Amino acid sequence: MKRIIIATAGTAVAALALAGCSGGGSADDGVAEDGSITLTMSGWSIDTTPEFQLLADAFHEKNPDVTVEIVDYDPNEYNTLVTADLAAGKGPDIITQKEVKYVTTFQSGGQLLDVSDVALPDGIGGADSYEVDGAAYATPYRQDSWVLYYNKDLFAQAGVEEPDGSWTWEDYRAAAADLTDGLDGAKGAYQHSWQSVVQGFANAQNGADILDGDYSHLKEAYELSLGLQDDGLQESFNTVGANQLTYQGEFGTQKAAMMPMGTWYVATLVAQQESGEADDFEWGIAPAPQLDESTTGTDGTPVTFGDPTGFGINAGIAEGKVDAAKEFLEFAASEEAATALAEIGITPALLTDPVVEAYFSAEGAPEDELSTFAVQTHETLPENPTSDKTAAVQNILNDMHSAILSESTSVDDAIADAEGRVANEVG
């Protein structure tokens, strides 16, 4: 069972609906006798993920004859459930692409429409991630990038100079040590347990392709992480897992002075400070530390990583709905939609000056120049290449990640094992 949220000009009416009630794949042309059209769109965690309803309402306001119904899937089983609905011929009309590594699964199954003719604004990020053999099968509306969050109050308390955009990973480690020494109980840094936190940066900043089977470039990044946890400058991987620590709790309650994390955390931290769930402290955003000085400084372009979130169209959509669905994709990628998303703390795929201004307009968001620079200026490389091999490779690399940071396997042995598995299991 999935919830369907119906978008109207100024309200949202919720109703329970069975999985087979979505509009995709209907036998007629999908247009009602009065000319109106209802599009269904997949989403997840609607109560805490406002972007879907915002876009649906805004599009309906501009196009009163088109109503968008949001089908709310379980976020933990999203791709499995959507894939099953598509295979059964009852998937929603618009398929939100939650993870890039599943795009080829939908595309190779003939379940996504070619949307290469949807016009996208200049400068939008993430569009390449949805291209397969030169054709686009989705369009981006959101593009998170990884940055460095830091607690200005804890830096001042420890007497440590704040990030200035020029940091390498060596500078980051040195600051973590100075902060830990200068603080009473708080650690200098926090690294969440995800493989992204290590591998995402290392892959992007080394220009590596995870599909080529060579992971020697990851050794330096893992040695840095192991050094940070072994020296007590951040919680260990085992502690994070055993105690079920959350990155929101560690940074938001000032248990750590620095934290690499995606730009989505801006909206969360602002909201949690307002509600009292997070402590009241001054914070900022800096570019992610870099591999070397060639990409540091506010006159340069720091390299980071992140995947887009986008919308595709069900290949089984009723013929009369296709144009309306493509218009929705075009609207979701527009500066108007990007500005509206930015106002609620969502990082859109389009980052023009008005969009960035809207992004930092929320009360409690940082206002300094470095934070603006960090969010707007970067080369964001995809974490997940668009390939039918990506999911399998990432699963192997996640096993390697756990083996190294739990210190059950040496870095060299874990990397060698991953390389062997990718060669034998993925090819």
Between 243 and 16, the higher pLDDT residue: 243
Instruction: Please write the tens of the pLDDT for every residue from 91-133.
Output: 999 999 999 999 999 999 999 999 999 999 999 999 999 999 9
pLDDT in tens, 367-420: 899 999 999 999 999 999 999 999 999 999 999 999 999 999 999 999 999 999
pLDDT higher than 50, residue 320 = yes
- Quick check: 88 pLDDT over 60? yes
Which tens digit of pLDDT belongs to each residue from 265-319? Answer: 998 899 899 999 999 999 999 999 999 999 999 999 999 999 999 999 999 999 9
17 band by pLDDT with thresholds 50, 70 and 90: very low
- For the chain, the average pLDDT equals 92
Q: What is the pLDDT of residue 183?
A: 98
Which domains are delineated in the chain? 2-143+307-350 (3.40.190.10), 146-303+377-426 (3.40.190.10)
What confidence tens digit (pLDDT) does each residue in 230-272 have?
999 999 999 999 999 999 999 999 999 999 999 999 988 998 9
Q: What angle do CA 366, 120, 118 make, to 5 degrees?
A: 140
212 pLDDT exceeds 80?
yes
So what's the pLDDT on residue 396? 98
pLDDT of the residue at 342: 94
The 3-state secondary structure of the chain, one letter per residue:
CEEEEEECCCCEEEEEECHHHCCCCCCCCCECCCCCEEEEEEEECCCCCCHHHHHHHHHHHHCCCEEEEEEEECHHHHHHHHHHHHHCCCCCCEEEECCHHHHHHHHHCCCECCCCCCCCCCCCCCHHHHEECCEECCEEEEECCEEEEEEHHHHHHHCCCCCCCCCEHHHHHHHHHHHHHHCCCCECCCCCCCCHHHHHHHHHHCCCCHHHCCCCCHHHHHHHHHHHHHCCCCCCHHHHHHCCCCHHHHHHCCCECEEEEECCHHHHHHHHHHHCCCCCCCEEEECCCECCHHHCCCCCCCEEECCEEEEEEECCCCHHHHHHHHHHHHHHCCHHHHHHHHHCCCCECCCCHHHHHHHCCCCCCCCCHHHHHHHHCCEEECCCCCCCCHHHHHHHHHHHHHHHHCCCCCHHHHHHHHHHHHHHHHC
Question: Which pLDDT does position 46 carry in this prediction?
Answer: 87
Q: What is the pLDDT of residue 267?
A: 87
- Residues 130-138 have a mean pLDDT of 97
The pLDDT, as a whole number, for residue 99 is 92
**Residue 320 CB neighbour total at 10 angstroms:** 15
Provide the pLDDT confidence category of residue 427 given band limits of 50, 70 and 90: confident
Per-residue confidence band for 2, with pLDDT thresholds at 50, 70 and 90: low
Percent of the chain with pLDDT over 90: 88
pLDDT in tens, 330-339: 999 999 999 9
Q: How confident is the model at residue 3 (pLDDT cuts 50, 70, 90)?
A: low
**pLDDT digits over 160-173, tens only?**
999 999 999 999 99
**Residue 340: per-residue pLDDT:** 96
pLDDT at 15: 31
